[in-house]
Amino acid sequence: MKFINVGYGNMAAAGRLIAIVSPDAAPVRRLIQDARDSGRVIDATCGHKTRAVLVTDSEHVILSPLLPETVAARIDGKTEEAEA
């Protein structure tokens, strides 16, 4: 199983991700709030601004301080180290 760094040393299983989206849209904010209400949010931002929202196949939502492009590059194996 391949793990990727989603910010500040936090890791997520790359094979379980189904979407990486920006948190700016209202439907994504509702998705985060619904997941938070049901206890399915994993906050990997360490108190920083959320820049990417990762949705898993188990309907968990991971909040990341990295840009969506950075997370996608890490999944593809490219070494884009633009930390937040």
What average pLDDT score do residues 4-20 get? 97
Longest CA span, the chain: 35
Give residue-wise pLDDT tens across range 30-52.
999 999 999 999 999 999 999 99
pLDDT band per the 50, 70, 90 thresholds, residue 68: very high
Say what the pTM is.
0.90
DSSP 35-62: HHHTT-EEE-STTS---EEEEETTS-EE
Residue among 78, 74, 84, 79 at smallest CA distance from 3:
74
> For residue 83, is pLDDT > 90?
no
What is residue 84's predicted lDDT score, i.e. its pLDDT?
A: 47
